[in-house]
Amino acid sequence: MSESELDHLSSELDLILSAVARVSEVAKDDIAPTSHPLPLLNVFREDVITPSLTADEALSGAPAKEEGRFKVPQILGEEA
Amino acid sequence: MIRKSANEMAASLASGEVTSVELTKAHFARIEEVDVKVRAFLHLDTEGALASASVIDERRKKGEELPPLAGVPLALKDVLVQKNVPTTCGSKILQGWRPPYDATVVKNLKKNGVVILGKTNMDEFAMGSSTENSAFHPTHNPWDLTRIPGGSGGGSSAAISSFEAPLAIGTDTGGSIRQPAAVTGTVGVKPTYGGVSRYGLVAFSSSLDQAGPCARTVLDAALLHEAIAGHDEKDSTSIDAPVPKVVEAARRGDVKGVRIGVIKELQGEGYQAGVLERFQESLDILSGLGAEIVEVSCPSFDYALPAYYLIAPSECSSNLARFDAMRFGLRVGEGSAEEVMNATREAGFGREVKRRIILGTYALSSGYYDAYYGSAQKVRTLIKNDFEKAFLSADVLVSPTAPTTAFKIGEKSDDPLAMYLNDIATIPVNLAGICAISIPSGLAKEDSLPAGFQVMAPAMADDRLYNVGAALERELLAKWSKPLLDFAPELA
Amino acid sequence: MAMKYDQVVSAFDPVLGLEVHVELGTKSKMFCGCATLFGAEPNTQVCPVCLGLPGSLPVVNRKAIEYTIAIGLALNCSIAPYSRFARKNYFYPDMPKNFQTSQYDEPICKNGYLDLEVETEDGIKEFRVDIERVHMEEDTGKSLHVGGATGRIHGADYSLLDYNRAGIPLVEIVTKTIEGTGKYAPLVAKAYVKELRDILRSLGVSDVKMEQGSLRCDANVSLRPMGEKKLGTRSETKNVNSLRSVERAVRAEMIRHAGILETGGKVKQETRHFHENTGETTAGRSKEQAEDYRYFQEPDLIPIAPADSWIDEIRKNLPERPSERRKRLQSAWSVPDKEMAAMVNADVLDLVAETVELGADPTKARGWWLGEIARIANENEKWAGELPISPVNVKELIDLINAGELTDKLARQVVEGVINGEGSPKEVVAQRGFKVVSDDTALMEAIERAITTQPDVADKVRNGHIPAAGALIGAVMKDTKGQADAAKVRSLLLKHLGQSE
Ligand SMILES: [Zn+2]
């Protein structure tokens, strides 16, 4: 992002953050958080193999590929 | 023919008065004619649509029994994946991507013989209330081309209100089906969370997103609702229960004895006078039909907007992490994988998307989680509780859908907080996972633009929306003597 | 100058923490129906879900939950009545969604323990390792680093990604800090991973092949001066992929830490990588700026609340604990402690047990697995179980010996043949033309020939000089190409020459 874009964004974000910070006014300790709108439990699938994509389909959207694999720029970091 | 309802088109198809290919071509012709002004579509699948139309015609010729909407055209919001058809979510980052699979909604549409004309414009990744955040172009409101068609699903609402398609699919995270419906004089339904599969719906905020029908009549919306809804084993959050009988309810439209709760907090300050006037008129009509009007209070709704603007960005910051230039979509820049990812996201995401990713990343970060995301989830509990309490004294709850009619393109694009206020009446429904409909309540006196009437019902009581909606629609139609959209200016 | 190990353990008290990742042996992946077979063509076992394509959604594999609960029960954990998945957010190209679906503050199993009997130079020592948690997560894809000099990640020009492994269910088993092991720390670490592996194998939840990466261990090591309560700074040595390496890596880290601490230095909190060839670790990513994973509940997955009846059912079907089984087998086979320990150390107990189950004599079964087969395994730097010889083969071999159709010497050649891929023992016997010459007439003819060629030797024997018989027996064996039973030749020969033992 450019400097001016960043400045603009950060002032907006300050504004938004101060507006949304109001949630803590009512979020008392004794209120349980809701992470899922519905009280569902235990949704599973059976351990059954279903057809996969073909390698061509899997790679169809790849920006780059080689030897049936996704080709990505050099990965910096951990030796796996 | 294109001005008919989907239900009427289906009847004409069934009687042989028209073929699906003819009907599809008629809509493409209309699109050709008016979409240069409306700009509802991002992509037209002419070949695919005509091919599936002719398959339906063949099957009908053979005397096969076909589903109710077989052969009827539809516009698909570009946030749902359709196999081999470009899906962009209104974003440059997905430009050129052709998904290798169908969303369950798309599968269901195909199974029902619905003809998918193409993909409609939207705010990038469904973030917005005006469709101005599309990376490609804004969409224009057929009622006034200088105004917004609502958002994020402005392409879908504009397409049906300009008769480019009789039906459309939208998705609603904070009002993206209902607010566009309200400002274009059409019907839009956000089904119960889990009522329609999210598989293949590119996630904005997973715990809030829900696909639903957009149509010009309540019955059309119900027919489409039945076609796309139902349990899907590919979506863990999908409800394993029969689809509420929405078509039956839409044909019934009887509110005698129905208790209608008016939410005190969703009116008054910030609401346009003409919008409130239409709202009151609808209430009076319902009361006249024998409904019992009660007032309910939902005090926590004051915190719905801030909670929404923490939860949705938080989830989206994680959902959108996969757009990293490695496996699909745009790739720009040089250097390491991380550098290429950053360059691609910088080039591929628009300002609103970046704003929300940053906001969400912040709200989830350790040290801030409790104050922001954690508190927002507690507010969600309070809002659910408010709804539960309100539904003890009312069968459905009502409010204006949006506080104002359509505003001018560009009017609020520099003021995100003002923009966010558009969703003030629609957001609580998403936070609670319940269902709601927006139906046209007439034109506001100040600007002669459509206003919406929102009906909300408990989870899995979607049929109540259609029952109340159909009753109100019938009475308003009688009052106006013609469909509201007939009051809109000619585009051609 | 590095300290000697006994200096290290006299000055410092080691504290360990072990994290073991196990790939579960489910048929399909954790959140989608893709197959989990090892070694498939790249990107042929992937779908929108495990590729993280936009719009896709996960659904939990029931079997994976069942396996995880079984692991938790086997490790004496309590099973959470309610647990959820969380997203662990970070960027890495082998992780398709750029978050790992894992568990954070609500793991499915908590607070267990594992009792170990550790064989040390001071005899068998008992240790209890407390388990902090057992939780579920998903594996990542595999990257191939291309270009650069070494084919390793550093200096590579680009990487090629195969997502077949992405989404395979992983269980992470995390210990609490392991204290009080003193100089036995490396042995305890190894014994823990080994016992854990045996348990997982007995549960049938994983193929636990360390060399294929289906069981991987990260070892956290820290040292504190003797008598100090406060924990020292730890290092985390990653992906130690053999039992021997677990022991070596812990020992290497203890020595390295001690070297730093002794000269007044500070140990860096960082990731280390263990190198099997040098037996040393090298620095990986520094953890000083700890990454913020922004964990939050996975909204696409539904909480898990396993019914008591389900847990009971899993508990009921738990197999015998490996330690109990060892005791039972030892007494059933009447094996001395030392022999038992040898079998356990060589990791052939299961193989012997299977051979015995097929009807073989325990002593003989043990003899083969610990003898010739172990020898060949050692020669090839492999574990006996990896060689292409099965308990069924060994049972067949023993049967052939019992029936007098093979001598021990021939049998050893048969083992070699089986391992070379020449077929079952019977097939090897047939192909190599091994035939024990047990036909008395044929043997007598050979004996006659030997006596004819060496009459003076025969006379010596006739005159009571029994040791001279050796030369004649040797001639007979040579004549029959080693396919005669030497004991039988001896007895026939002596009898023929009018002598007895
Ligand atoms: Zn898959």
Lowest mean pLDDT, pick from C124-138, C226-240, C472-486: C472-486
- Specify whether the CB–CB gap between B480 and B443 falls below 8 A: no
CATH number of the domain that B85 lies in? 3.90.1300.10
- Specify whether the CB–CB gap between B121 and B42 falls below 8 A: yes
In a domain, B389, yes or no: no
Lowest mean pLDDT, pick from B10-24, C14-28, C172-186, C400-414: C400-414
Is pLDDT of C39 > 70?
A: yes
- pLDDT level of residue B48 (50, 70, 90 thresholds): very high
Which residues, numbered 149 to 188 in chain C, qualify as contacts with chain A under a Cβ-Cβ cut-off of 8 Å?
Answer: 152-154, 156-163
Is pLDDT of C151 > 60?
A: no
- pLDDT level of residue C441 (50, 70, 90 thresholds): confident
Is pLDDT of C438 > 80?
A: no
> Is ipTM beyond 0.90?
yes
Element (H, E) at B262: strand B259-263
CB contact under 8 A, C159 and B337: yes
Residue of C nearest to A42 (CA): C304
Number of A–B residue contacts, CB under 8 Å? 145
In a domain, B384, yes or no: no
Look at residue C382 in the predicted model and tell me its pLDDT.
Answer: 83
Look at residue B438 in the predicted model and tell me its pLDDT.
Answer: 98
Q: Do residues B242 and B367 both lie within one domain?
A: no
CB contact under 8 A, A17 and B359: yes
Chain A residues closer than 8 Å to B331 by CB:
63-64
Q: Which of B76, B125, B197, B318 to mutate to test the interface with C (most CBs of C within 10 A)?
A: B318
Neighbours of C411 (CB within 10 A): 21
Look at residue C478 in the predicted model and tell me its pLDDT.
Answer: 84
* Ordered strands of the B435-443 beta sheet: B41-44, B115-120, B73-77, B167-171, B211-215, B187-190, B435-443, B450-457, B396-400, B259-263, B292-296
- Specify whether the CB–CB gap between C89 and C125 falls below 8 A: no
Task: Let me know the angle formed at the C-alpha of B209 by B207 and B211, rounded to the nearest 5 degrees.
Answer: 145
Is pLDDT of C152 > 70?
A: no
Q: Do residues B195 and B321 both lie within one domain?
A: no
Is pLDDT of A80 > 50?
A: no
Q: Which of C87, C98, C153 to mutate to test the interface with B (most CBs of B within 10 A)?
A: C98
Look at residue C408 in the predicted model and tell me its pLDDT.
Answer: 81
Does C146 contact chain B (CB < 8 Å)? Answer: no
CB contact under 8 A, B317 and C96: no
- pLDDT level of residue C480 (50, 70, 90 thresholds): confident
**Touching chains, C (3+ CB pairs < 8 A):** A, B
Is pLDDT of A79 > 60?
A: no
Report the C-alpha dihedral over residues B409, B411, B414, B415, rounded to 10 degrees: -120
Q: Which of A34, A54, A75, A76 to mutate to test the interface with C (most CBs of C within 10 A)?
A: A75
Query: Tokens 């063509």 sit at which residue?
Result: C41
Strand A44-45 vs strand C60-61: parallel, antiparallel, or unpaired?
parallel
Q: How far is the CA of B117 from the centre of ligand 1 (A)?
A: 30
- Specify whether the CB–CB gap between B34 and B161 falls below 8 A: no
Look at residue B227 in the predicted model and tell me its pLDDT.
Answer: 98
CB contact under 8 A, C51 and A53: yes
DSSP A60: T
Average pLDDT over residues C119-124: 88
In a domain, B412, yes or no: yes
Joined together, the tokens standing for residue C321 give: 């604990």
- From the list B327, B338, B379, the residue facing A26 with the nearest CB is B379
Q: How far is the CA of B359 from the centre of ligand 1 (A)?
A: 31
Rounded to an integer, what distance in angstroms lies between the CA atom of residue C2 and that of residue C9? 13
B185 vs C450 pLDDT, higher one: B185
Residues 6+ apart with CB under 8 A from C334: none
Does B375 contact chain C (CB < 8 Å)? Answer: no
Secondary structure (3-state) at C23: strand
Chain C residues closer than 8 Å to B205 by CB:
299
Q: Do residues B288 and B307 both lie within one domain?
A: no
- pLDDT level of residue B31 (50, 70, 90 thresholds): very high
Q: Do residues B354 and B440 both lie within one domain?
A: no
Range of the domain at B372: 302-378
**Is B152 one of the catalytic residues?**
yes
Q: Do residues B261 and B363 both lie within one domain?
A: no
Which residues, numbered 17 to 56 in chain A, qualify as contacts with chain C under a Cβ-Cβ cut-off of 8 Å?
Answer: 35-36, 40-55
> Percent of chain B, pLDDT > 90?
95
Lowest mean pLDDT, pick from B201-210, B230-239, B385-394, C376-385: C376-385
Residue type, position C267, single letter: V
List, for residues C379-413, the tens digit of each pLDDT value: 888 888 888 999 999 999 999 888 878 888 888 98
List, for residues B342-398, the tens digit of each pLDDT value: 999 999 999 999 999 999 999 999 889 989 999 999 999 999 999 999 999 999 999
Average pLDDT over residues B318-346: 96
CB contact under 8 A, B335 and A73: yes
Does A74 contact chain C (CB < 8 Å)? Answer: yes
- From the list B97, B101, B194, the residue facing A38 with the nearest CB is B194
Q: What's the number of domains chain B is made of?
A: 2
CB contact under 8 A, C35 and A35: no
- From the list A1, A13, A23, the residue facing B307 with the nearest CB is A23
Neighbours of C213 (CB within 10 A): 15
Q: Do residues B112 and B139 both lie within one domain?
A: yes
Q: How far is CA B207 from CA B179, B352, B371, B430, C355, in A?
A: 19, 20, 19, 8, 55
Residue type, position A39, single letter: P
Look at residue C357 in the predicted model and tell me its pLDDT.
Answer: 93
CB contact under 8 A, B81 and C55: yes
**Is B176 one of the catalytic residues?**
yes
Which residues, numbered 56 to 75 in chain C, qualify as contacts with chain A under a Cβ-Cβ cut-off of 8 Å?
Answer: 59-65
CA-based nearest distance A5→chain C, Å: 24
Averaged confidence pLDDT in chain C:
91
Chain C residues closer than 8 Å to B202 by CB:
54-55
Chain C residues closer than 8 Å to B322 by CB:
52, 54, 96-98
> Which of B378, B413, B432 is a domain's end point?
B378
List, for residues B88-145, the tens digit of each pLDDT value: 999 999 988 999 999 999 999 999 999 999 999 999 999 999 999 999 999 999 999 9
Lowest mean pLDDT, pick from A15-19, B66-70, C132-136: A15-19
Q: Do residues B324 and B264 both lie within one domain?
A: no
CA-based nearest distance A17→chain B, Å: 8
Chain C residues closer than 8 Å to A54 by CB:
44
CB contact under 8 A, B234 and C161: no
**Is B336 one of the catalytic residues?**
no
Rounded to an integer, what distance in angstroms lies between the CA atom of residue C77 and that of residue C133? 8
Strand B115-120 vs strand B73-77: parallel, antiparallel, or unpaired?
parallel
CB contact under 8 A, B328 and C54: yes
Rounded to an integer, what distance in angstroms lies between the CA atom of residue C249 and that of residue C244? 9
Lowest mean pLDDT, pick from B405-409, C105-109, C409-413: C409-413
The phi, psi pair for C332, rounded to 5°, reads -65, -35
Q: Do residues B208 and B81 both lie within one domain?
A: yes
Does C14 contact chain B (CB < 8 Å)? Answer: no
CB contact under 8 A, B369 and C89: no
CB contact under 8 A, C47 and A78: no
Averaged confidence pLDDT in chain B:
97
List, for residues C312-335, the tens digit of each pLDDT value: 999 999 999 888 898 999 999 999
Element (H, E) at C146: strand C142-146
Given B77, B92, B190, B412, the catalytic residue: B77
Question: Using alpha carbons only, how large is chain C's radius of gyration in Å?
Answer: 29
Q: How far is the CA of C141 from the centre of ligand 1 (A)?
A: 12
Secondary structure (3-state) at C198: helix
CA-based nearest distance B87→chain A, Å: 11
Look at residue C172 in the predicted model and tell me its pLDDT.
Answer: 98
CB contact under 8 A, B236 and C159: no
Q: Do residues B272 and B155 both lie within one domain?
A: yes
Joined together, the tokens standing for residue B216 give: 């010009």
Joined together, the tokens standing for residue C282 give: 């090298």
Look at residue A14 in the predicted model and tell me its pLDDT.
Answer: 84
Q: How far is the CA of A75 from the centre of ligand 1 (A)?
A: 24
In a domain, B150, yes or no: yes
Average pLDDT over residues B22-37: 98
Q: Do residues B341 and B474 both lie within one domain?
A: no
Is pLDDT of C107 > 70?
A: yes
Chain C residues closer than 8 Å to B328 by CB:
53-54
Q: How far is the CA of C166 from the centre of ligand 1 (A)?
A: 8
Task: Let me know the angle formed at the C-alpha of C470 by C469 and C474, rounded to the nearest 5 degrees.
Answer: 120
Is pLDDT of C494 > 90?
A: no
- From the list C55, C294, C301, the residue facing B200 with the nearest CB is C55
CB contact under 8 A, A67 and C42: yes
Domains of chain C (ranges; CATH) run 5-314 (no CATH), 325-432 (no CATH), 440-496 (1.10.10)
Average pLDDT over residues B207-212: 98
- pLDDT level of residue A54 (50, 70, 90 thresholds): very high
Is pLDDT of B212 > 70?
A: yes
Q: Do residues B269 and B149 both lie within one domain?
A: yes
Given B12, B152, B282, B441, the catalytic residue: B152
> Percent of chain B, pLDDT > 70?
100
Rounded to an integer, what distance in angstroms lies between the CA atom of residue C373 and that of residue C394? 10
List, for residues C129-149, the tens digit of each pLDDT value: 999 999 999 999 999 988 865
In a domain, B388, yes or no: no
Does A14 contact chain C (CB < 8 Å)? Answer: no
- From the list C48, C161, C294, the residue facing B101 with the nearest CB is C48
Q: Do residues B421 and B364 both lie within one domain?
A: no
Look at residue B39 in the predicted model and tell me its pLDDT.
Answer: 98
Q: How far is the CA of A45 from the centre of ligand 1 (A)?
A: 13
Lowest mean pLDDT, pick from A65-79, B252-266, C191-205: A65-79
Minimal CA–CA distance to B224: which of B215, B216, B232, B233? B215
In a domain, B386, yes or no: no
> Percent of chain A, pLDDT > 70?
92
Look at residue C150 in the predicted model and tell me its pLDDT.
Answer: 57
